[in-house]
Amino acid sequence: MAESMSVPASVAPSTWQYLASRRLAHLATVDDRGRPHLVPVCYVVDGSAIYIPLDEKPKRVSPLRLRRVRNLIDHPDVAFLVDDYAEDWSRLAYVLVRGLADLLDPDDQRHRDVITLLREKYPQYEAMAIDRNPLIRIVPYASHVWSSAPGFFDWRQASLVRNLDFDAIIRGRRSVRAFRPDAVPPALIQRLLEAARWAPSPHGRMPWRFVVVTRPDLKLKLADAMGDEWERQLALDGEAPEIIARRKLRSRQRILEAPACIVLCLYLVDLDRYPDPVRQEAERTMAVQSLGAAAQNLLLAAYQLGLDAGWMCAPLFCSDTVRAALGLDSDLEPHALLTVGYAARDPVRRERLPLESLIVRFD
């Protein structure tokens, strides 16, 4: 039998929950001539693998001579499909898993545990000697979830999660300006803000507050106000009217077309007070640095969850305008606007300077 395989996790917890809740799936294998073989199967999952029994239903050959078994021994790359069909097509859904398959021997402790799960799920197996045969085990390396039903949104969303190590998340995060119109679920926005909440801050005071804008009318009010102020500032710089109009339009579209906008505000009320301006300015700088850390936490969390974001510094140049458009208190200083959503296309990545050019001293 094949030894246990290890591949990167690629199925989100909510997708495992969907698989566990269903009773019938289809397993696809392929032979040496490239001919596909598709069979319906019973199965159980344990959060890391899918297990399929070789049971005692009437068969003309021994379990190890079944075509699906012969196929996966020679070609372990398999597909596993669980789907929901209804005459009401708004309720259609499916999960497609790609994985590597092997056989789990009856003398393996995990085999006995899975047999227990199978008999709990399918009472018919109580009277069958399924514990005498190997089990097909599938370790996923990719999954795709689709549904047109709102009730399945969490499963569909789970398929977008980027299961990457931390280094890959840092390098993969990108600045996106064009988004699909799909709304970002409030629960995901909460997770982004929760990630930001854990950023380091001076004295642990967390000198930042978040303003989430998703309503189209409020985004329009904000975009118009910021656009008018930017138009005024560009005119002061002597920009040509056609360039001003083009830049204003692009900036306005970035706000209006983003499913969610998160305004990061500096909040200094709880920080220490000093009698001299030098230390007071240092205290403020610490708060600004902390706000940047909160923003970075939020951006990395967004990328890991399958979202993308763009960082707009424009509020720094028109904080009073942003504050007025959103009806914010005077003790909130808008510093950044993060647009969040699902990327409509991959952005052009800017080259990074070589590391050696950034290190001034390394003793």
- Report whether pLDDT(9) > 80: no
DSSP string, 159-204: TT-----HHHHHHH--B---B-SPPPPHHHHHHHHHHHHTS--GGG
The pLDDT tens digits for 273-332 are 999 999 999 999 999 999 999 999 999 999 988 899 999 999 999 999 999 999 999 999
Q: Average pLDDT, stretch 251-280?
A: 96
Least confident residue range of 90-94, 155-159, 313-317, 335-339: 155-159
- The number of residues making up the chain comes to 363
Domain positions in the chain: 13-158, 166-355
> For residue 336, what pLDDT band results from cuts at 50, 70 and 90?
very high
Question: Which segment of 85-89, 195-199, 240-244, 266-270 scores lowest on mean pLDDT?
Answer: 85-89
Per-residue pLDDT at 55 exceeds 90 = no
% of the chain residues with pLDDT over 70: 91
Say if residues 262 and 212 touch (Cβ distance below 8 Å). Answer: yes
CATH architecture group of domain 13-158: Roll (2.30)
pLDDT exceeds cutoff 60 at 211: yes
pLDDT grade for 58, boundaries at 50, 70 and 90: low
Q: Is the pLDDT of residue 3 over 50?
A: no
Amino acid 310: pLDDT: 96
The SS3 of residue 252 is helix
Q: Would you list the DSSP string of 81-116?
A: EEEE--SSGGG-EEEEEEEEEEEE-TTSHHHHHHHH
Mean pLDDT lowest among 25-34, 56-65, 175-184, 205-214: 56-65
Q: Tens of pLDDT along 161-188? A: 676 778 888 988 999 999 988 889 888 8
First to last CA, the chain: 54
Q: What does the pLDDT read at residue 92?
A: 81
Q: What is the pLDDT of residues 33-45, one digit of tens each?
A: 999 999 999 999 9
Mean pLDDT score of the chain: 89
Is the pLDDT reported for residue 21 higher than 90?
no
Among the listed residues 169, 119, 138, the one whose alpha carbon sits nearest the alpha carbon of residue 46: 138
Q: For the domain covering 166-355, report its CATH number.
A: 3.40.109.10
95 to 128, 181, 287, 349: CA distances (angstroms): 29, 23, 45, 32
Average pLDDT over residues 104-127: 91
